[in-house]
Structure 1
């Protein structure tokens, strides 16, 4: 029963599915669509402003010195995953509905998560300080690397314009840096209101999902998406996650990392950020494409949480038997 409870979807995943269904039945059309787009732009900027204000500079400094660990996470996130995504798109594109293969590639180009990477590392008894630094750096770098890599791999489809990258900088990176610069004055206020900031984070994502799936419904995505596509997509997500988990685990042991460091590498290197992926997609791609693009990400997000919840429990038993090194 304890194992089965881990497989139960969390509330946010249920909210994502409910939002997608609501958008499919009642999409934003007419004058409501541009108004919703403006609200989304503002909510995304606020989301990353608050993320910047929450990010502790001390935690970054403590974890930054472990450069070998960060290099491993970077390689998994921005080298291994993109190679797997490119291979998947190349060989399976003809078997999937239009846009889904591109969504798989986009998923593989995204940065790691922050919250779940750190949470699972902590549950498993891993190197939390290094996980904080590595996951945070991945998110900041991903704001620039994701669109650049996407543009490089999409050359045959026109690529990603510099204008789109500029929009990402203005809507995501600038608010993030501004929030971090203001952290000495607003950081404690933000930390004391985690419920409010969590609502902003999740609310911004739900707004984008509603807009994206509404546009997808208007464009007829669900008529083009067969049940076979969903089954194949779930299998691909499981295979991608499994390959990365096995590779990061074996590489960590091959290069002589401790178990605590291995935990941080495995959990930070195997995650893909829904929080960053949905807002970036809303800027990079036309509204009619976003639903198909983020569908693989939504499925992968749930699968990675389920698998890593089980894996964290297994690691916790190992790390509990090992002495914690002095900081």
Structure 2
């Protein structure tokens, strides 16, 4: 006989009623799932891929989601996430921080392309030394009557730079300017707009003058062409008194000695070309009232226009002193005397 095994009756399961806390957590989980689904489904339907951007240029004080992530939804693209660096500065944002910020908005699956960080540069308007000097010169002209064309401002220190937002596009101005005529020291505040951006600068006002500078080297006797010259402004105290300032007066003259490129031309460096060369055949002209004679001769020396040179009459071999009046032409006539200026006497 087999021993009978007792029949084991199934134990009834206890049913625990749901508490309010459990119901609340369940509802929140479902709401979160629905929110993610609502954001993700349009992106999936449109086939849009969220991709981390590369280097970014910030034009304002903050960086939005659309600035950092390509393909951001239109309703989230303008959402500010991070502060931008200072004007003109460069900063970085870790890729994980951008992904975390996107997750807080219900967006996942951002492609990083292997980037660990995004470089951000803050765009800025840069007002350099040239604009700063121009602003100071305008203020010196208005406030102190100085001629800006003959003035240069040598700013203290390294080249100053005023950084300003891009929307400040007006002309830089110098305010609160002070000037000491004895020391020629100048100082002021360079501003943009209604002083939204400003920089305090100081320097020395230097009086300048125009000088003719060679752009290439010249050999002795070589003529100066217009392309060989440029005009520069140099401090007046640092240039000789006999410098050439008008290139038009120098063009066509010849170098009296070898001249190097970059040299400031002085009055003795160049001279008008010789119109008569030693050994050349010349026409010896004698002209007076009612009489005009011309003989052939040989120049014993070279000379430019108006120079006195020695010539020899080819027929008589007589040596004469003549004045150069044109290329290959000299005059032995009397020097014209200036006519006296007669003044009308007053009637008695």
| TM-score, length-scaled by structure 1 | 0.18
Q: Which is bigger in relative contact order (C-alpha 8 A, separation at least 6)?
A: 1
Greater Rg by CA:
2
Q: Name the one with the larger strand percent.
A: 2
Which structure has the highest helix share of the two? Answer: 1
